[in-house]
Amino acid sequence: MNHPDAIRPENHAVYSPEKMGKSTLFSSERIMVGLNAFEPGQEHKLHAHEGMDKVYHVIEGSGIFVLEDRNLAMEAGVMLIAPEGVPHGIKNTGEERLLVLAILAPSP
């Protein structure tokens, strides 16, 4: 993708009936910006990143952020930051698709 161009992230979402879809909007040595696209019932299991922080921002849909041992409600407009080493995941508990912008720094 060419940058700097103004884009609508939702136009670059990749959904899959088998598993969460991923697409990269931008990547450099300093940052990676991507999309996580969930069909109803799909999830990104609990995991952690060493040496990088992650920001999630919900573009559309609803579900649950899992942060360590807590479940936090998510919906369009909500943001969650998972600092380095903190276990996190996402579950689409809604009946509609869930689209989440994911920003990782530094880039993996």
Over residues 16-45, mean pLDDT: 96
Over residues 66-87, mean pLDDT: 95
pLDDT at res. 1? 66
pLDDT at res. 5? 83
Give the single-character DSSP code of 5: -
Of the candidates 26, 25, 22, 4, the one whose C-alpha atom is nearest the C-alpha of residue 14 is 22
Whether 19 contacts 42, CB under 8 Å: yes
The two tokens of residue 84 are 């380095």
Over residues 47-53, mean pLDDT: 95
Answer yes or no: CATH 3.40.50.300 is held by domain 12-105.
no
Of the candidates 7, 15, 6, the one whose C-alpha atom is nearest the C-alpha of residue 99 is 15
Over residues 32-45, mean pLDDT: 97
Whether 73 has a pLDDT exceeding 80, the answer reads yes
Single-letter amino acid code for the residue at 87: P
